[in-house]
Amino acid sequence: MLAQLIKIPHIITTNIEHPSVLETYKLLEKRKLAEISIVPVEQSGIIDPKKIKREIKNNTVLVSVMYANNEIGTIQPIREIAKEIKHWKKNQKSLFPLFHTDAVQAVNYLDLNVEKLGVDLLSLSGSKIEGAGRVGVLFKKAGVMLAPVFGGGDQEQGIRPGTENLLAILKFADALKLVENIKEKETKRLTSLRDYFIAKIQVLDPRISINGDLQNRLPNNVNVSFENIPSDLLVVELSSRGIMASAKSACKSKEAGGSYVIKAICKKPNGELGGVRFSLGHQTTKTDIDYTVQALKEILLKLKKWYN
């Protein structure tokens, strides 16, 4: 009903969303199908819920904020944002905006209880869960009406036509159960390894900076910047030693320039804007961390000859 009354709907998001989300909203704006407000995060990589609320207008139909960032691992205050949106809707006596969160990076470690989070929509991807396969999930709160993405059938509650991939769906369900069973224990283990890794990195060189909040971040994520040393070069050097790291989101890895997520929180706009992301996993051990730290020590010693 509201969508019919609003000629140009308004969407609010942040400047560190995953490209699959951020670029979609930008495309909608380019095609004049929506008005987009992109709210900048703080230098910690975390959004201020009050800033989200200040952007809400009468034609705002959607607020979309990722649960956890894929590059710097920062965890967003989803519950607090939901409260701000709920407060605005109550005062305005409105059913909108709806609140969506991209929980793709959060699924292995954070609470996905949608009632506690206060979200209307939540998206997941099986690609981030070991053994889940290539399947996506969109939770929608009861009563939320969604238009089908294209025509052709009434599958998936009339939203997405086409024969369901039952095998992928079952694999995802089993993988999700497994994740829930080991989540608490694995989160504790990886948090300890992450903090150990960060402490070791920080004593290597005072010019090394950790990107993103040190506390409100995923247990498997360590993202660092090395002043004056190109991140791509560091990734190559690490790879030659059997250490897989990345300079930015895989979805943007072929684009020239630094990471837009690192740029969003960079304290030195004229300096190196790259970051190197290390992702810990089920098989990561303390021995792996020590090996990586020693490799970084050797690489930095080598590269300082050219980048001091």
Q: Domain map of the chain by residue range?
A: 2-173, 183-307
Assign domain 183-307 to its CATH superfamily.
Answer: Aspartate Aminotransferase, domain 1 (3.90.1150.10)
Question: Matching CATH topology for 2-173 and 183-307?
Answer: no
Instruction: Confirm if 222 and 194 have CB atoms less than 8 A apart.
Output: yes
Average pLDDT over residues 245-257: 63
Dihedral over Cα of 66, 198, 236, 240: its sign? negative
Backbone φ and ψ of 244, nearest 5°: -90, 120
Q: What rounded mean pLDDT belongs to the chain?
A: 91
Segment 279-291 mean pLDDT: 97
Architecture of domain 2-173: 3-Layer(aba) Sandwich (3.40)
Between CA 103 and CA 113 the distance in angstroms is 11
Tell me what the mean pLDDT of segment 8-29 comes to: 97
Rg (CA), the chain: 21
Identified catalytic residue from 167, 170, 251, 301: 251
The mean pLDDT value for 55-77 works out to 98
Tens digit of pLDDT for each residue in 184-243? 999 999 999 999 999 999 999 888 999 999 999 999 999 999 888 888 999 999 999 999
On the question of pLDDT at 67 being above 80, the answer is yes
Lowest mean pLDDT across 127-141, 229-243, 290-304: 127-141
The mean per-residue pLDDT over the stretch 5-11 comes to 83
Over residues 286-294, the mean pLDDT reads: 98
Torsion from C-alpha of 71, 187, 189, 242, nearest 10 degrees: -30
pTM of the model: 0.93
Average pLDDT over residues 235-254: 80
- Would the pLDDT of 2 be above 60? no
3 pLDDT above the threshold of 60: no
Contacts of 136 (CB under 8 A, 6+ apart): 123, 124, 125, 126
**Residue 251 above 70 pLDDT?**
no
The encoded tokens of residue 256 equal 């020239």
Whether 5 has a pLDDT exceeding 70, the answer reads no
- Among this protein's residues, is 251 annotated catalytic? yes
